[in-house]
Amino acid sequence: MNHPIDQIVLKSQQYMSSNSIDGWLIYDYRYFNPVMQDTIGHIPNMTRPYWFWIPSENEPVLLSSSVDLGRFPKSDVKKLAWTSRNEMINLLHEILKDSETVAMEYSPRCELPRVSKVDAGTIELVREAHVKIVSSADLFQYSTQIWTSKDLESHKIAATLLTKIVHEAFAYIGEQINSNITEFKVAEFIRSRFVEENMVITDGPVVATNSHSSDPHYEPSKEDSSVIETGDWVLIDLWSRLIGDDTMSADITWTGYVGEDIPSKNQEVFDIVIGARDLALNFLAKAHSDGKSVPGYKMDLVARDYINKAGYGSYFKHRLGHSIGREIHSNAVNLDSFETYDTRKIIPGIAFSIEPGIYLPEFGIRSEIDVFLSELGPQPTTEIQTAPIIIKSNS
Protein backbone atom coordinates (compact mmCIF):
# COMPACT_ATOMS: atom_id res chain seq x y z
CA MET A 1 0.00 0.00 0.00
CA ASN A 2 2.95 2.27 -0.68
CA HIS A 3 0.98 4.69 -2.86
CA PRO A 4 2.51 7.96 -4.14
CA ILE A 5 1.37 10.93 -2.12
CA ASP A 6 -0.20 12.66 -5.13
CA GLN A 7 -2.33 9.58 -5.79
CA ILE A 8 -3.55 9.56 -2.17
CA VAL A 9 -4.37 13.26 -2.37
CA LEU A 10 -6.34 12.72 -5.59
CA LYS A 11 -8.30 9.76 -4.23
CA SER A 12 -9.07 11.52 -0.96
CA GLN A 13 -10.28 14.62 -2.80
CA GLN A 14 -12.54 12.49 -4.95
CA TYR A 15 -14.04 10.92 -1.85
CA MET A 16 -14.46 14.24 -0.02
CA SER A 17 -16.12 15.92 -3.00
CA SER A 18 -18.70 13.14 -3.09
CA ASN A 19 -19.33 13.19 0.66
CA SER A 20 -19.57 16.91 1.53
CA ILE A 21 -16.26 17.03 3.40
CA ASP A 22 -14.22 20.22 3.03
CA GLY A 23 -10.87 18.74 3.99
CA TRP A 24 -8.90 16.05 5.75
CA LEU A 25 -6.68 17.06 8.64
CA ILE A 26 -4.18 14.37 9.63
CA TYR A 27 -2.38 14.96 12.91
CA ASP A 28 0.52 13.06 14.42
CA TYR A 29 2.87 13.26 17.37
CA ARG A 30 5.49 10.64 18.18
CA TYR A 31 4.05 8.25 15.55
CA PHE A 32 0.81 7.40 17.33
CA ASN A 33 -1.27 7.92 14.16
CA PRO A 34 -0.42 5.24 11.56
CA VAL A 35 -2.60 7.00 8.99
CA MET A 36 0.03 9.74 8.72
CA GLN A 37 2.65 7.18 7.70
CA ASP A 38 0.21 5.52 5.30
CA THR A 39 -0.29 8.92 3.70
CA ILE A 40 3.11 10.64 3.53
CA GLY A 41 5.45 7.78 4.43
CA HIS A 42 7.70 7.39 7.45
CA ILE A 43 9.54 10.60 8.38
CA PRO A 44 12.35 9.71 10.80
CA ASN A 45 12.94 11.39 14.14
CA MET A 46 9.94 13.71 14.19
CA THR A 47 10.04 15.36 17.61
CA ARG A 48 7.12 17.86 17.48
CA PRO A 49 3.46 17.67 16.47
CA TYR A 50 2.80 18.01 12.75
CA TRP A 51 -0.22 18.21 10.49
CA PHE A 52 -1.09 17.31 6.90
CA TRP A 53 -4.02 19.24 5.48
CA ILE A 54 -5.72 17.94 2.32
CA PRO A 55 -8.55 20.26 1.21
CA SER A 56 -11.25 18.87 -1.03
CA GLU A 57 -10.07 21.41 -3.56
CA ASN A 58 -6.71 23.16 -3.95
CA GLU A 59 -3.28 21.98 -2.88
CA PRO A 60 -2.36 20.17 0.33
CA VAL A 61 -0.22 21.70 3.07
CA LEU A 62 2.24 20.26 5.59
CA LEU A 63 2.39 22.18 8.87
CA SER A 64 5.41 21.40 11.04
CA SER A 65 7.74 22.85 13.62
CA SER A 66 10.68 24.64 12.04
CA VAL A 67 12.87 22.22 14.02
CA ASP A 68 11.54 19.26 12.04
CA LEU A 69 10.67 20.84 8.71
CA GLY A 70 13.92 19.79 7.07
CA ARG A 71 13.21 16.13 7.76
CA PHE A 72 10.55 15.92 5.05
CA PRO A 73 11.76 14.72 1.64
CA LYS A 74 11.74 17.17 -1.22
CA SER A 75 8.34 17.33 -2.90
CA ASP A 76 5.88 19.75 -4.42
CA VAL A 77 3.74 19.77 -1.25
CA LYS A 78 3.57 23.23 0.29
CA LYS A 79 5.18 23.43 3.74
CA LEU A 80 4.48 25.88 6.55
CA ALA A 81 6.69 26.17 9.64
CA TRP A 82 5.82 27.29 13.14
CA THR A 83 8.17 28.12 16.00
CA SER A 84 5.77 28.63 18.91
CA ARG A 85 2.49 27.04 19.94
CA ASN A 86 0.59 30.27 19.31
CA GLU A 87 2.03 30.46 15.81
CA MET A 88 1.02 26.84 15.18
CA ILE A 89 -2.56 27.56 16.27
CA ASN A 90 -2.76 30.70 14.15
CA LEU A 91 -1.49 28.84 11.07
CA LEU A 92 -3.93 26.02 11.76
CA HIS A 93 -6.83 28.47 11.91
CA GLU A 94 -5.64 30.09 8.71
CA ILE A 95 -5.63 26.86 6.68
CA LEU A 96 -9.05 25.89 8.08
CA LYS A 97 -10.73 29.29 7.72
CA ASP A 98 -12.77 28.42 4.62
CA SER A 99 -13.85 24.98 5.84
CA GLU A 100 -16.96 23.84 7.66
CA THR A 101 -16.60 20.04 7.81
CA VAL A 102 -13.21 18.48 8.51
CA ALA A 103 -12.34 14.78 8.67
CA MET A 104 -9.89 13.52 11.30
CA GLU A 105 -8.88 10.16 12.80
CA TYR A 106 -11.76 10.39 15.24
CA SER A 107 -14.46 7.89 16.13
CA PRO A 108 -17.48 9.08 18.15
CA ARG A 109 -17.47 7.38 21.56
CA CYS A 110 -14.38 5.48 20.39
CA GLU A 111 -16.64 3.03 18.58
CA LEU A 112 -13.73 2.11 16.28
CA PRO A 113 -10.50 2.14 18.33
CA ARG A 114 -8.45 1.49 15.19
CA VAL A 115 -9.72 4.80 13.82
CA SER A 116 -9.63 6.83 17.04
CA LYS A 117 -6.05 8.16 16.97
CA VAL A 118 -6.52 11.85 17.80
CA ASP A 119 -6.71 12.77 21.49
CA ALA A 120 -9.63 14.72 22.94
CA GLY A 121 -7.52 17.82 23.59
CA THR A 122 -6.46 18.06 19.95
CA ILE A 123 -10.08 17.66 18.86
CA GLU A 124 -10.96 20.58 21.16
CA LEU A 125 -8.13 22.64 19.67
CA VAL A 126 -9.30 22.08 16.10
CA ARG A 127 -12.92 22.84 17.00
CA GLU A 128 -11.77 26.29 18.11
CA ALA A 129 -11.42 26.98 14.37
CA HIS A 130 -15.23 26.70 14.22
CA VAL A 131 -15.30 23.52 12.16
CA LYS A 132 -17.36 20.36 12.47
CA ILE A 133 -15.17 17.27 12.87
CA VAL A 134 -16.26 13.99 11.29
CA SER A 135 -14.60 10.60 11.21
CA SER A 136 -12.05 9.89 8.48
CA ALA A 137 -12.69 6.13 8.77
CA ASP A 138 -14.11 5.59 5.28
CA LEU A 139 -11.95 8.33 3.78
CA PHE A 140 -8.61 6.86 4.78
CA GLN A 141 -9.74 3.33 3.91
CA TYR A 142 -10.60 4.48 0.38
CA SER A 143 -7.46 6.55 -0.14
CA THR A 144 -4.72 4.58 1.68
CA GLN A 145 -5.76 0.96 2.25
CA ILE A 146 -6.49 -0.35 -1.25
CA TRP A 147 -3.86 -2.85 -2.37
CA THR A 148 -1.79 -2.64 -5.50
CA SER A 149 -1.19 -5.71 -7.66
CA LYS A 150 2.27 -5.94 -6.06
CA ASP A 151 0.68 -5.92 -2.58
CA LEU A 152 -1.67 -8.73 -3.56
CA GLU A 153 1.12 -10.82 -5.04
CA SER A 154 3.27 -10.53 -1.90
CA HIS A 155 0.26 -11.55 0.21
CA LYS A 156 -0.44 -14.58 -1.98
CA ILE A 157 3.17 -15.74 -1.67
CA ALA A 158 2.97 -15.40 2.13
CA ALA A 159 -0.36 -17.24 2.16
CA THR A 160 1.04 -20.13 0.14
CA LEU A 161 4.03 -20.42 2.45
CA LEU A 162 1.87 -20.36 5.58
CA THR A 163 -0.33 -23.14 4.21
CA LYS A 164 2.75 -25.20 3.40
CA ILE A 165 4.20 -24.61 6.87
CA VAL A 166 1.01 -25.45 8.76
CA HIS A 167 0.80 -28.80 6.96
CA GLU A 168 4.46 -29.39 7.78
CA ALA A 169 3.77 -28.56 11.43
CA PHE A 170 1.00 -31.16 11.68
CA ALA A 171 3.29 -33.71 10.00
CA TYR A 172 6.06 -32.79 12.45
CA ILE A 173 3.73 -33.57 15.36
CA GLY A 174 3.05 -37.00 13.89
CA GLU A 175 6.75 -37.68 13.42
CA GLN A 176 7.55 -36.68 17.01
CA ILE A 177 4.42 -37.89 18.81
CA ASN A 178 6.31 -40.60 20.69
CA SER A 179 9.17 -38.25 21.66
CA ASN A 180 7.42 -35.94 24.14
CA ILE A 181 6.80 -33.27 21.53
CA THR A 182 5.42 -30.09 23.16
CA GLU A 183 3.38 -27.16 21.94
CA PHE A 184 6.46 -24.98 22.35
CA LYS A 185 8.62 -27.27 20.20
CA VAL A 186 6.04 -27.07 17.41
CA ALA A 187 6.00 -23.28 17.70
CA GLU A 188 9.80 -23.29 17.47
CA PHE A 189 9.59 -25.49 14.38
CA ILE A 190 7.23 -22.99 12.74
CA ARG A 191 9.49 -20.06 13.62
CA SER A 192 12.48 -21.90 12.15
CA ARG A 193 10.55 -22.40 8.93
CA PHE A 194 9.76 -18.67 8.84
CA VAL A 195 13.50 -17.98 8.95
CA GLU A 196 14.16 -20.47 6.16
CA GLU A 197 11.44 -18.95 3.97
CA ASN A 198 12.60 -15.34 4.54
CA MET A 199 9.49 -14.42 6.51
CA VAL A 200 9.04 -11.99 9.39
CA ILE A 201 8.83 -13.30 12.96
CA THR A 202 6.77 -11.10 15.28
CA ASP A 203 4.77 -12.75 18.05
CA GLY A 204 3.17 -16.19 17.96
CA PRO A 205 2.40 -18.62 16.55
CA VAL A 206 -0.46 -20.16 18.51
CA VAL A 207 0.05 -23.88 19.02
CA ALA A 208 -2.64 -25.01 21.45
CA THR A 209 -3.95 -28.37 22.56
CA ASN A 210 -7.23 -29.26 24.24
CA SER A 211 -8.24 -26.60 26.83
CA HIS A 212 -5.38 -24.35 25.68
CA SER A 213 -7.14 -24.04 22.33
CA SER A 214 -10.03 -22.42 24.20
CA ASP A 215 -7.81 -19.34 24.59
CA PRO A 216 -7.87 -17.56 21.19
CA HIS A 217 -4.43 -15.98 21.79
CA TYR A 218 -2.68 -18.76 23.70
CA GLU A 219 1.05 -18.82 23.06
CA PRO A 220 3.13 -21.65 24.52
CA SER A 221 6.30 -20.89 26.43
CA LYS A 222 9.23 -23.19 27.07
CA GLU A 223 8.42 -23.30 30.77
CA ASP A 224 4.64 -23.78 30.46
CA SER A 225 3.85 -26.00 27.50
CA SER A 226 1.84 -29.20 27.20
CA VAL A 227 3.18 -32.44 25.75
CA ILE A 228 1.12 -33.44 22.72
CA GLU A 229 -0.26 -36.96 22.96
CA THR A 230 -2.58 -39.32 21.13
CA GLY A 231 -6.18 -38.19 21.63
CA ASP A 232 -5.30 -34.48 21.72
CA TRP A 233 -7.01 -31.71 19.77
CA VAL A 234 -4.54 -29.27 18.21
CA LEU A 235 -5.13 -25.70 16.97
CA ILE A 236 -2.41 -23.84 15.04
CA ASP A 237 -2.71 -20.14 14.17
CA LEU A 238 0.22 -18.63 12.27
CA TRP A 239 0.77 -15.30 10.57
CA SER A 240 3.63 -13.55 8.82
CA ARG A 241 4.75 -11.74 5.68
CA LEU A 242 7.80 -11.75 3.47
CA ILE A 243 10.72 -9.70 4.76
CA GLY A 244 10.63 -6.25 3.12
CA ASP A 245 9.10 -2.82 3.60
CA ASP A 246 6.21 -3.22 1.17
CA THR A 247 4.95 -6.76 1.70
CA MET A 248 1.49 -7.74 2.91
CA SER A 249 0.71 -10.24 5.65
CA ALA A 250 -1.26 -13.46 5.65
CA ASP A 251 -2.97 -15.17 8.60
CA ILE A 252 -4.47 -18.67 8.88
CA THR A 253 -5.80 -21.03 11.56
CA TRP A 254 -6.14 -24.80 11.17
CA THR A 255 -7.14 -27.57 13.57
CA GLY A 256 -6.33 -31.26 13.81
CA TYR A 257 -6.67 -34.38 15.93
CA VAL A 258 -3.99 -36.83 17.04
CA GLY A 259 -5.56 -40.21 16.34
CA GLU A 260 -7.70 -42.14 13.91
CA ASP A 261 -11.27 -41.19 14.86
CA ILE A 262 -12.25 -37.59 15.57
CA PRO A 263 -14.54 -37.34 18.65
CA SER A 264 -18.13 -36.60 17.66
CA LYS A 265 -18.28 -33.39 19.72
CA ASN A 266 -15.17 -31.98 18.05
CA GLN A 267 -16.53 -32.87 14.62
CA GLU A 268 -19.90 -31.28 15.42
CA VAL A 269 -18.33 -28.00 16.53
CA PHE A 270 -15.89 -28.01 13.62
CA ASP A 271 -18.76 -28.35 11.16
CA ILE A 272 -20.61 -25.42 12.75
CA VAL A 273 -17.51 -23.22 12.63
CA ILE A 274 -16.78 -23.85 8.95
CA GLY A 275 -20.49 -23.50 8.20
CA ALA A 276 -20.44 -19.99 9.68
CA ARG A 277 -17.23 -19.20 7.78
CA ASP A 278 -18.64 -20.33 4.44
CA LEU A 279 -22.02 -18.66 4.99
CA ALA A 280 -20.32 -15.30 5.59
CA LEU A 281 -18.15 -15.67 2.49
CA ASN A 282 -21.12 -16.66 0.34
CA PHE A 283 -23.16 -13.77 1.72
CA LEU A 284 -20.49 -11.31 0.57
CA ALA A 285 -20.19 -13.02 -2.83
CA LYS A 286 -23.94 -12.78 -3.46
CA ALA A 287 -24.13 -9.17 -2.29
CA HIS A 288 -21.27 -8.25 -4.62
CA SER A 289 -22.87 -10.02 -7.57
CA ASP A 290 -26.08 -8.09 -6.82
CA GLY A 291 -24.15 -4.81 -6.85
CA LYS A 292 -24.56 -4.23 -3.12
CA SER A 293 -21.90 -3.03 -0.66
CA VAL A 294 -21.61 -4.81 2.67
CA PRO A 295 -20.53 -3.09 5.92
CA GLY A 296 -18.15 -4.97 8.16
CA TYR A 297 -20.64 -5.41 10.99
CA LYS A 298 -23.10 -7.19 8.69
CA MET A 299 -20.65 -9.97 7.86
CA ASP A 300 -20.13 -10.56 11.57
CA LEU A 301 -23.88 -10.68 12.21
CA VAL A 302 -24.40 -13.30 9.50
CA ALA A 303 -21.83 -15.69 11.01
CA ARG A 304 -22.81 -14.89 14.61
CA ASP A 305 -26.49 -15.57 13.94
CA TYR A 306 -25.58 -18.96 12.44
CA ILE A 307 -23.55 -19.93 15.51
CA ASN A 308 -26.26 -18.59 17.85
CA LYS A 309 -28.89 -20.76 16.16
CA ALA A 310 -26.61 -23.78 16.56
CA GLY A 311 -26.59 -23.15 20.32
CA TYR A 312 -23.00 -21.98 20.71
CA GLY A 313 -23.37 -18.20 20.58
CA SER A 314 -21.92 -17.60 24.04
CA TYR A 315 -18.74 -19.45 23.01
CA PHE A 316 -18.00 -17.19 20.00
CA LYS A 317 -15.90 -14.68 21.91
CA HIS A 318 -14.43 -12.35 19.27
CA ARG A 319 -15.20 -10.55 16.03
CA LEU A 320 -15.52 -12.51 12.80
CA GLY A 321 -12.44 -11.04 11.13
CA HIS A 322 -9.91 -8.25 10.81
CA SER A 323 -8.33 -6.13 8.14
CA ILE A 324 -5.05 -7.42 6.72
CA GLY A 325 -2.22 -5.25 5.45
CA ARG A 326 1.45 -4.86 6.18
CA GLU A 327 0.40 -5.22 9.81
CA ILE A 328 -1.49 -8.41 10.40
CA HIS A 329 -4.26 -6.33 12.03
CA SER A 330 -4.43 -3.40 9.66
CA ASN A 331 -6.40 -0.18 9.24
CA ALA A 332 -9.24 -1.05 6.85
CA VAL A 333 -12.67 -2.39 7.83
CA ASN A 334 -12.99 -5.19 10.39
CA LEU A 335 -15.79 -7.75 10.29
CA ASP A 336 -17.22 -6.77 13.62
CA SER A 337 -20.56 -6.17 15.31
CA PHE A 338 -19.38 -7.57 18.64
CA GLU A 339 -16.24 -5.89 19.98
CA THR A 340 -16.95 -2.74 17.96
CA TYR A 341 -19.58 -1.83 15.38
CA ASP A 342 -17.74 -1.34 12.12
CA THR A 343 -19.98 0.48 9.66
CA ARG A 344 -17.25 0.88 7.05
CA LYS A 345 -17.99 -0.80 3.73
CA ILE A 346 -15.98 -3.76 2.47
CA ILE A 347 -14.65 -2.21 -0.72
CA PRO A 348 -12.74 -3.70 -3.68
CA GLY A 349 -8.99 -3.69 -3.14
CA ILE A 350 -8.87 -4.62 0.54
CA ALA A 351 -8.13 -7.91 2.30
CA PHE A 352 -9.42 -9.37 5.54
CA SER A 353 -9.69 -12.59 7.53
CA ILE A 354 -12.84 -14.62 8.12
CA GLU A 355 -12.29 -16.60 11.32
CA PRO A 356 -15.29 -17.70 13.37
CA GLY A 357 -14.48 -19.65 16.51
CA ILE A 358 -16.22 -21.65 19.22
CA TYR A 359 -14.31 -21.98 22.50
CA LEU A 360 -15.63 -24.62 24.90
CA PRO A 361 -13.89 -25.23 28.22
CA GLU A 362 -12.40 -28.51 26.99
CA PHE A 363 -11.34 -27.40 23.48
CA GLY A 364 -11.63 -24.56 20.99
CA ILE A 365 -12.07 -24.52 17.21
CA ARG A 366 -11.34 -21.65 14.86
CA SER A 367 -11.12 -21.76 11.08
CA GLU A 368 -9.41 -18.78 9.51
CA ILE A 369 -9.09 -17.90 5.85
CA ASP A 370 -7.92 -14.72 4.13
CA VAL A 371 -10.06 -13.03 1.48
CA PHE A 372 -9.30 -10.29 -1.05
CA LEU A 373 -12.25 -8.39 -2.48
CA SER A 374 -11.54 -7.82 -6.17
CA GLU A 375 -13.73 -6.04 -8.69
CA LEU A 376 -15.04 -9.51 -9.62
CA GLY A 377 -15.95 -10.46 -6.08
CA PRO A 378 -14.38 -11.98 -2.94
CA GLN A 379 -11.41 -14.24 -3.63
CA PRO A 380 -10.12 -16.54 -0.88
CA THR A 381 -6.35 -16.29 -0.98
CA THR A 382 -5.60 -19.16 1.42
CA GLU A 383 -6.48 -22.83 1.30
CA ILE A 384 -9.88 -23.52 2.86
CA GLN A 385 -9.91 -26.29 5.47
CA THR A 386 -12.90 -28.60 5.08
CA ALA A 387 -12.08 -31.35 7.59
CA PRO A 388 -9.88 -31.60 10.68
CA ILE A 389 -6.34 -32.78 9.99
CA ILE A 390 -5.82 -36.39 11.09
CA ILE A 391 -2.40 -36.52 12.77
CA LYS A 392 -0.99 -40.02 12.59
CA SER A 393 2.14 -41.32 14.22
CA ASN A 394 4.86 -41.79 11.62
CA SER A 395 7.24 -43.63 13.91
Q: What is the mean pLDDT of the chain?
A: 96
Calculate what percentage of the chain has a pLDDT beyond 70: 99
Residue 1: which pLDDT band, with cuts at 50, 70 and 90?
A: low
Residues 6+ apart with CB under 8 A from 197: 161, 165
CA distances from 37 to 65, 166, 234, 338 (A): 18, 33, 39, 29
Whole-angstrom distance, CA of residue 107 vs CA of residue 111: 6
pLDDT, mean of residues 136-146: 96
Whole-angstrom distance, CA of residue 180 vs CA of residue 278: 36
Asked if residue 213 lies in contact with residue 234, where contact means CB atoms within 8 angstroms, the answer is yes
Residue 75: which pLDDT band, with cuts at 50, 70 and 90?
A: confident
Residue 395: which pLDDT band, with cuts at 50, 70 and 90?
A: low
Domains and CATH numbers, the chain: 5-144 (3.40.350.10), 149-391 (3.90.230.10)
Predicted pLDDT of residue 393: 79
pLDDT, mean of residues 189-215: 97
Q: Is the pLDDT of residue 212 over 90?
A: yes
Predicted pLDDT of residue 2: 61
Interhelix angle for 296-309 vs 264-289, to 10°?
150
pLDDT, mean of residues 376-395: 93
Helix-then-strand count for the chain, H and E: 9, 18
pLDDT, mean of residues 323-346: 96
Q: Is the pLDDT of residue 206 over 90?
A: yes
Q: Is the pLDDT of residue 3 over 80?
A: no
Q: Is the pLDDT of residue 202 over 90?
A: no
Residues 279-312: pLDDT tens digits?
999 999 999 999 999 999 999 999 999 999 999 9
Whole-angstrom distance, CA of residue 38 vs CA of residue 379: 25
Residues 112-135: pLDDT tens digits?
999 999 999 999 999 999 999 999
Residue 265: which pLDDT band, with cuts at 50, 70 and 90?
A: very high
Residues 5-49: pLDDT tens digits?
999 999 999 999 999 999 999 999 999 999 999 999 999 999 999
Residue 199: which pLDDT band, with cuts at 50, 70 and 90?
A: very high
pLDDT, mean of residues 192-203: 96
